[in-house]
Amino acid sequence: MGESSRTLPLLGKLVRTFQDRLTSRGRYLFCAVLLLGAAGLDTRRTQVFTLFAVAAALFLVSSLWGLFLRPRVRLECQLPRHVTAMQPVPVHARIVPMDKPLLPDLQCSFLVPFGKNRPISFYPHKTFTDVAARQPTEVVVELQPMRRGRYQIPGPAVRAADPLRLVLTREVAAPGQTVVVYPRFYSMEEFLVPAGRRYQPGGIPLASNTADAIEFVGTREYREGDPLKNIHWRSWARRGKPVVKEYQEEYFARIALILDTFVPKDAAPRDAQAFEAAISVVASIADFFSRSEYIVDILAAGPDIYEVSAGRSLAYLENILDVLACLEPCRQPPFQGIAPALFDKLGQITTVVAVLLDWDTPREAFLRRVKSLGTAVRVLMVRGGSTSNPWQHVGPELGDFTLLSPEDVERALSAQRPGGRS
């Protein structure tokens, strides 16, 4: 067991070296050397060993040439910090020679971690370029993010090829970087939210977490009983009589976005597809709210609660997308665990928008309690088949219900260019 565990990493390292240090024609030559060596073992019956000697000599000279040299260049490349799934973006790498290059034939390679179904790829992932004396050159490739998530990407590398383009030298690499792939989403022109407005102590300044102060709108004459701390001293000095500052308490809509992340371990692939579609729906709703007058205060995703402020220019859409990019399915029903922490925060929430994956007794009980607090409810259910319990008779009682299939979401995503940022 221990011997095999040591052999596998060694084999992987040899395969990686074979791919990184040999060009395509170098790999062909290496295989030819092995075949010629096997065919020419009996030197008395065949002259194949002569071809083996020539091919092996070429390969040996090229290998020694690439073993001790390294291109004297500087590689500059800045990967985008945020991209959107299925939306390719160009990546520019700049190769700057440190002195007159003796190795003008350079290969620039962009690598991603090994694994099946790679979430990120580059096209082309390897390309040759020439560097003129003291003249920087630029390589442009396409970064293709396939799946949302947070990934540590190795930095690109530059190697020089020998004159026969068989073997590559040691690399000059840029540092690795982190890339966050946002979920796909689309721009909604309209999204109906149940009306709800509550008094918000502190108004917008409190909502944006600037302080406990409320909105200052002007001054007025002093009235008996006004607190002394509200006196506007400059206006008093100018007018010759007491003047106080006047504030405006505000009423406006504040929204909690709730995403159902419960996907059982034995769930069908269609349920996983619905989970990804639900994430795209939440991202699309958040994008709509970021362009409207609404304020998204809370994003509840499964058992976790994230306090955000998106809308009315209080924060960026990226606050929510950063959370959604790394979200994983929850294997245990989260509604009992999330309820106490969320209900403590619903006192000032006017509307709850819930994106659910199914309809059953725990979900219904959760939303009934939300409704009992006087909070307006809007439910979007993303489901590939029938729900565990019927929901049609409950819809008018709890709030607005919309049923979507993963195919409906995919059609909406495909109908227009995603509104992602890169």
Q: Does domain 73-182 have CATH number 3.30.70.100?
A: no
341: pLDDT strictly greater than 80: no
**pLDDT in the model for residue 212:** 36
Q: Which residues contact 114 (CB under 8 A, 6 or more apart)?
A: 12, 16
- For the record, the structure tokens of 186 come out as 């689309």
Is residue 376 within 8 A of residue 194, CB to CB? The reply is: yes
- For the record, the structure tokens of 83 come out as 């991209």
**pLDDT in the model for residue 417:** 58
197: pLDDT strictly greater than 70: no
Alpha-carbon gap, residue 391 to 233, rounded angstroms: 61
Domain locations along the chain: 2-68, 73-182, 215-248, 252-414
pLDDT tens-digit series, residues 8-41: 566 667 777 777 788 888 889 888 888 988 887 7
More confident residue, 117 or 255: 255
pLDDT tens-digit series, residues 388-404: 888 888 767 788 888 99
Closest CA to 382 of 282, 301, 298: 282
Best CATH choice for the domain 252-414 from the list 3.40.50.410, 1.10.760.10, 1.10.150.130, 3.40.190.10: 3.40.50.410
Alpha-carbon gap, residue 328 to 83, rounded angstroms: 19
Pairing mode, strands 254-259 and 215-221: unpaired
**pLDDT in the model for residue 2:** 46
Taking residues 253-260, report their average pLDDT: 85
pLDDT tens-digit series, residues 266-285: 888 888 899 999 999 999 99
The sign of the torsion formed by the CA atoms of 345, 346, 352, 354 equals: positive
175: pLDDT strictly greater than 70: yes
Alpha-carbon gap, residue 391 to 355, rounded angstroms: 14
Percent of the chain with pLDDT over 90: 22
pLDDT tens-digit series, residues 62-85: 888 887 778 888 899 999 999 999
Alpha-carbon gap, residue 409 to 422, rounded angstroms: 22
DSSP E strand boundaries for 5-99: 73-77, 82-84, 89-97
Alpha-carbon gap, residue 299 to 286, rounded angstroms: 10
**pLDDT in the model for residue 308:** 79
422: confidence class by pLDDT, cuts 50, 70, 90: very low
Scan for tokens 């725990």, then name that residue.
362
- For the record, the structure tokens of 131 come out as 């560097």
Task: Note the pTM of the prediction, 2 decimals.
Answer: 0.76
Closest CA to 401 of 349, 362, 356, 345: 356
Taking residues 286-298, report their average pLDDT: 82
Residue by residue, DSSP assigns 322-351 as HHHHT---BSS--HHHHHHHHHHHTTS--E
143: pLDDT strictly greater than 50: yes
199: confidence class by pLDDT, cuts 50, 70, 90: very low
Is residue 219 within 8 A of residue 245, CB to CB? The reply is: yes
Residue by residue, DSSP assigns 268-328 as -HHHHHHHHHHHHHHHHHHHHHHTSS-EEEEEEETTEEEEEEESTTSS-THHHHHHHHT--
**pLDDT in the model for residue 316:** 65
**pLDDT in the model for residue 285:** 92
Question: In this predicted structure, which of 70-74, 89-93, 151-155, 417-421 has the lowest mean pLDDT?
Answer: 417-421
Q: How far is CA 14 from the centre of its chain?
A: 32
4: confidence class by pLDDT, cuts 50, 70, 90: very low
pLDDT tens-digit series, residues 360-396: 888 888 888 888 888 889 999 999 888 888 888 876 7
90: pLDDT strictly greater than 80: yes
314: confidence class by pLDDT, cuts 50, 70, 90: very low
